[in-house]
Every structure is written in C-alpha cells, then in structure tokens.
Amino acid sequence: RRSTRWFSKGIWLAESKKVKGVPSDLHSILHSNRSFAYIKLKRWGEAEEDCSKALALNPKNTKATYRRAMARFELGKLEGAKADVELVLKELPDPSSNKEAVELKGKIARAFAKKESDGAEPGQAAAAKPASAPAEGFRRMQIVEADESDEEEPAKPQSPGVAVATPEPFPDIKLAANVKGIEEAKTRANSLFAQGSLEECVRWFSKGIWLAESKKVKGVPSDLHSILHSNRSFAYIKLKRWGEAEGDCSKALALNPKNT
C-alpha cells in the first residue's frame, strides 16, 4: 500500500505543471509499476486503468500489456484480456520469456469454453470472480518484475524546458480548445448516456477530461472539471467497472469536495 502512495506522488508530480520535460517512458513506467502494486492488492479495476494509461504513454510497454491482460481476466473482460495476451505473445515469441503469458492465454481460453458451455455469448463479460491465488508461473513473474522495475529501458533525454503532454486520446473526436469545447463534450456525453451508449459516452467524457487537464485550455472551472469525472463515474458504474468509477469519484471530490 505504501508503494502505491509513492507511485501516485510521482505520477502527480509528472502530470503537474511543476516539472517540464518528463520523459514519456518514465511516466509510463510509473503507471505500469503502480498497476503491479494494484494487482498484488487485487484492485483489478485500478490496475487495468493504470495499464491503459501506461500504454497511452508508451504503446511498447509490454509489461503493461501483460498486466492489463491479467487485470481484465480477473474482471471477466475476456475479449480484452485475450487481445492483450496475444499481443504480448506476438512481441515475445521466445518460449523462455513468455511462459506466463502462454499460461494466462490458456486460462482465458478455458474461461471462454466455460461461458459457451453455460450458454453465455462468447466474449460477454461476467461479474468479476473472487480472486484466486496466482499460478506458479505468475508468482515467478511477480518476483522478477519487482526486481527489474528499476531496470526498464532508460528514457531518451529530451531538450530542457520541453513539456511532454499526455497523448491525445480519441483523435476522431474533435473539440474546440476552449471551455466551450469542454462543455460540448459534457453535453454530448450526457446525451449518449441517456441513449444507453455507455462506451461512447465514456469516450466523450474522457476527451473532455483530457482537454480540461491539458495545457490547451486555461481557466477551466473546477466545478465543470469535477462534473466530468463524476458523470463518467456513473457511466463506469453502469458498466460495472467499479475501480474506475471509484477513481473518478475521488478525482471529482478533489476538485470539488461539495460534489455530493
């Protein structure tokens, strides 16, 4: 638990305006390693979210891909878990380095087979099952990764004074780089939520949040920023993505403690 506090402090500093020129590889590793701590704590939703952020910063972070596959498997998101583990196996074809990924792929395949035998649609997410003890191979991987977390490939030095922005998500969603653009994202997301398009509404809330937290827009009201997180949390609740819902609610309250 203490390690998550330290990783979180480092992430906050990397994402604040206090430090410029933070290498994206370093920022990615902070999220990836915190996700590993969340996995140890069986906080699967937060682990998945951290892995997604790590991969947005560095798509070649294979450890983050593997860890997200593990978290998604525990959350019952079999399609996503399968896609992630297959990507890991593609990037690590050597049998001596991918044993744990092969074992996880087998567990996912057995879960799919069980769903089909139970009459569920293939790929349909199930409620998260109680976490079981990790397989022996996964325990070995935990030890190795914990030892190697400080030995990941060093980030390339960047010119002093150059800030590294979080990569823009969902480039297909176009918004004006001003407060009105953020308001548009909120309005559109709320409309999609009312129509039952939950995944799409999450995309619009996420784009609005990214714009609010980027340096592209100044003077974003904290109440508006808080509402974006709060409303997205409700969409996550509907999707039963409990860890992400909790994370959004905490961020909403940090921005506006009176957001009841």
**Contact by Cβ (8 Å): 76, 125:** yes
Residue owning tokens 């590294």: 164
Residue owning tokens 């896609």: 83
Query: Minimum mean pLDDT among 67-71, 144-148, 162-166: which range?
Result: 144-148
Give me the pLDDT at residue 96, please.
Answer: 67
Name the CA radius of gyration of the chain, rounded: 19
| Segment 44-63, tens digit of pLDDT | 999 999 999 999 999 999 99
pLDDT tier, 95 (very low <50, low <70, confident <90, very high otherwise): low
Give me the pLDDT at residue 65, please.
Answer: 95
| Segment 28-41, tens digit of pLDDT | 999 999 999 999 99
Whole-number Å distance between alpha carbons of 54 and 149: 14
Question: Mind giving me the DSSP string for 72-137?
Answer: HHHHT-HHHHHHHHHHHHHH---TTT-HHHHHHHHHHHHHHHHHHHTTPPTT---PPPPPPPPPHH
Whole-number average pLDDT of the chain = 81
| Segment 219-242, tens digit of pLDDT | 999 999 999 999 999 999 998 888
**Contact by Cβ (8 Å): 100, 85:** no
Whole-number Å distance between alpha carbons of 238 and 196: 10
Please choose, from the candidates 44, 8, 47, 39, the residue with its C-alpha nearest in 3D space to the C-alpha of residue 141: 39
Give me the pLDDT at residue 230, please.
Answer: 94
Alpha carbons within 13 A on the beta-carbon side of 183: 5
Whole-number Å distance between alpha carbons of 239 and 45: 12
Give me the pLDDT at residue 243, please.
Answer: 86
Give me the pLDDT at residue 71, please.
Answer: 94
Q: Tell me the average pLDDT across 85-91.
A: 90
117: number of Cβ within 10 Å: 8
Please choose, from the candidates 38, 42, 104, 45, the residue with its C-alpha nearest in 3D space to the C-alpha of residue 69: 104
